Amino acid sequence: MSPTPTRRQPDATRQRLLDAAFAEIHRYGYHASSLDQILRATDVTKGALYHHFRNKQALGLAVIDEVVRPWIETRWRPMLESDRPLQAAIDHVSAHADTVDDDMLALGCPFANLVQELAGSEPAFQQPLFDIFFEWKRGLMESVRKSQAIGEGRTDVDPEDIAVFVISAIEGMWAIAKASRCHEQFRASHRGLVLFLESMRA
């Protein structure tokens, strides 16, 4: 999410604030996150912060839309864009198990963390978080349909059922990993999901 060299300085400042806010919220949660800490991390003035984001809520909503949403999108778009969506999903899950470091394992999935903290108590955040889930589900459903259409995947399964199950499995992996802080548990859950995906072959 780093700014490109061709961006104008105001855009670069805004992106630094978003990146720092994402890191702060991921580590401490939205409610416990500190605007002062975000300013210290970015060396940005409070006036510059409020130029880009009128308050903490606006900053949090921008983090969800501009950082968390693209992060989740990387979980489903490669499958949808692949000529063999099911195989792409299997390859992605197999590779992902060993890409998470100790810090990420302890912090958990940023999307799931925000859903658990905000979706039931902060109305302004409910729809943006639901939209991310809906886009994720829709992308997986389209991937399943594509896999079925090309004869790669089973046709006796409902794409929505598969999509919701896979999302639930992925978020469950993160929850177990966060609770146990155990890489082997994380790898084991990935192996289980790969077995399920393999069972979806035509």
Report the predicted TM-score, pTM, of the whole model to 2 decimal places.
0.91
Please give the CATH architecture assigned to the domain spanning 63-198. Orthogonal Bundle (1.10)
Closest CA to 113 of 77, 63, 162, 75: 63
Q: What is the pLDDT of residue 10?
A: 53
Burial of 84 (0-12, 13-18, 19+ CB in 10 A): middle
CA distance 53 to 47: 10
45: Cβ–Cβ under 8 A, 6 or more apart, which residues? 39
Condensed to tens digits (0 to 9), the pLDDT of residues 51-91 reads 999 999 999 999 999 999 999 999 999 999 999 999 999 99
Return the pLDDT at 11.
Answer: 87
Residue 14 burial (CB count, 10 A): 21
Grouped pLDDT means (10 residues each) for the chain, 202 residues: 44 95 98 97 95 97 97 94 97 92 95 95 95 97 98 98 97 94 95 98 98
- Cα separation, 119 vs 128, whole angstroms: 9
Which token pair is 20?
């720092």
